Structure 1
Amino acid sequence: MSAITINSINKSPSSAIIFIHGLGDSGNGWKFLADILQGEKSNNKFNHIKFIFPNAPTIPLTVQNANKIPSWFDIYEMGSINAKDDTKGYLNSISTINNHIDSLIKDDNVPSNRILLGGFSQGGSLTLSQVILSKHKLAGFISCSGFVKIIPELLKYKSTDNISKSIPNVDTEILQFHGINDRMISFKYAQQSYDFFKNEFALPNLKFIPIDGMGHQVVNEQLIEIVKFIEKTLPPLDSDPNYKSNL
């Protein structure tokens, strides 16, 4: 599995973050998140976290005249909830993310509920889908400029009898950020995506956060909220020498 890996400052990680990049990018494009959290200004609050930034495969992209570009799945039409899906490519990428999760659990002994999943654009889409598809209960989800895809596949997991059993993360906290001025993935599409997950799966802790003036990008206002969310969902364990309980 190709990825940029940043080990925890502590000898053994007790938590982990997997953050999935967007179209045409690489894992290195989001390494700055680890740099921020492991920097001097963080006051050792994130020393227990290991970071995984997976790299997408380079594939021919239909909307780019079949030019090869790093992409988690093929795109036939930009920015439409009704566009044709590359279901096979999408599910292959879901499998890649699952492999990273399984490796953290088995090789690093990080419990699944201490693993946070996030992503931007295509990565944000995969993150939202993993709320429904993941077999593991995770710590939280962060979708930046994400959108819903593979709706028929997701609806297979809908259960009115025991939704908490079919979807372990039905009550997990989820942040869905989107720029009101996003011209690549329209705000309307983002709202439709939010409505889909809220209406079809009644996710109680899915929070939609519009950001005025933001396009298809990441801004400081958003990063501040992301850092707060990470601090809340992945606090150091009591056994961590740098952990000072506020209780």
Structure 2
Amino acid sequence: MCGNNMSVPLLADAVTVSGAERETAAVIFLHGLGDTGHSWADALSSIRLPYVKYICPHAPRIPVTLNMKMVMPSWFDLMGLSPDAPEDEAGIKKAAENIKAIIEHEIKNGIPAKRIVLGGFSQGGALSLYTALTSQHQLAGIVALSCWLPLHKAFPQAASNGVNKDIAILQCHGEMDPMIPVRFGALTAEKLKSVVAPSKVQFRTYPGVMHSSCPQEMMAVKEFIEKLLPRI
């Protein structure tokens, strides 16, 4: 572990895809339940921009109630996947603090908050939404794939003083998702429009796609990142 990452536990072994030239922006991307940062580092490498640093941390391994208490990489405990399932409030807030520590670290290293996009898939997308909307920093945008907004009943009040009320959100969802039905994605998009300016929320769905990503979705993510993080 290199010295300056010691105070940011998730950064110590995060997968980082460095830019091919001077890095003036960062994308922090959070994987889904049971996965690691490696799979998304690979996916993001295929759409990378040379001046952007991609950081894909690994979730800690914890017992997950939804999966019979099996220990696996998970950002927080999951009890159920329906909008009214009980939630691990303490775990979600702690996870968000850990991601905020990564954001702080990048800002200290010279990448301004407005040049940072936070994103994730499934549980990681859920955490990226919660973290960005409760952040004290004005971030560039959020990429929320196949996910939901955790602790949704706490919003819009939980959004920190509206710092990110103008944040751009790209939300994508497979129309055949058996884990997190597309209808939950649509409900989430509606909820987000009560937290940020409605025109800032894009909700795109992909026919035939299950709980996964597809090339068209990755191209939409690339265009979104390119638009928010243009070359300086």
* Superposition TM-score, scaled by structure 2 size: 0.90
**Could you say which residue in structure 2 is the equivalent of 1:32?**
42
User: Does residue 170 of structure 2 align to residue 169 of structure 1?
Assistant: no
User: Does residue 62 of structure 2 align to residue 59 of structure 1?
Assistant: yes
- Listed as ranges, the matches of 1:1-247 within 5 Å are 1-2=9-10, 3-10=14-21, 12-38=22-48, 46-77=49-80, 79-107=81-109, 109-157=110-158, 166-199=161-194, 201-237=196-232
**CA displacement at 1:35 relative to structure 2:** 2.0
Write the distance in 2 (CA, Å) between the matches of 1:149 and 1:139.
20
Contact 2:175 2:209 in 1 (8 A): yes
Contact 1:22 1:122 in 2 (8 A): yes
Q: Secondary structure at the match of 1:23?
A: coil
- Choose 1 or 2 for highest CA Rg: 1
Q: Which runs of 4+ in 1 moved over 6 A?
A: none
**CA displacement at 1:55 relative to structure 2:** 0.7
Structure 1 residues 231 and 183: CA distance shift in structure 2, 3 A? same
Contact 1:4 1:27 in 2 (8 A): yes
Pairwise CA RMSD of aligned residues? Answer: 1.6
Structure 1 residues 63 and 32: CA distance shift in structure 2, 3 A? same
TM-superposition CA deviations, 1:131-161 (whole Å, max 9, x none): 4211111111110001021124434336xxx
* Superposition TM-score, scaled by structure 1 size: 0.84
- Aligned residues: percent identity? 33
Amino acid at match of 1:57: P
Structure 1 residues 74 and 14: CA distance shift in structure 2, 3 A? same
Amino acid at match of 2:18: N
Structure 1 residues 180 and 219: CA distance shift in structure 2, 3 A? same
Amino acid at match of 1:75: L
Structure 1 residues 177 and 7: CA distance shift in structure 2, 3 A? same
Q: Which stretches in structure 2 are left out of the alignment for 5+ residues?
A: 1-8
Write the distance in 1 (CA, Å) between the matches of 2:195 and 2:135.
17
Q: May I ask how many residue pairs the two structures share in their alignment?
A: 221
Contact 1:131 1:170 in 2 (8 A): no
Contact 1:15 1:49 in 2 (8 A): yes
Q: Secondary structure at the match of 2:63?
A: strand
Q: Which stretches in structure 1 are left out of the alignment for 5+ residues?
A: 39-45, 159-164, 238-247
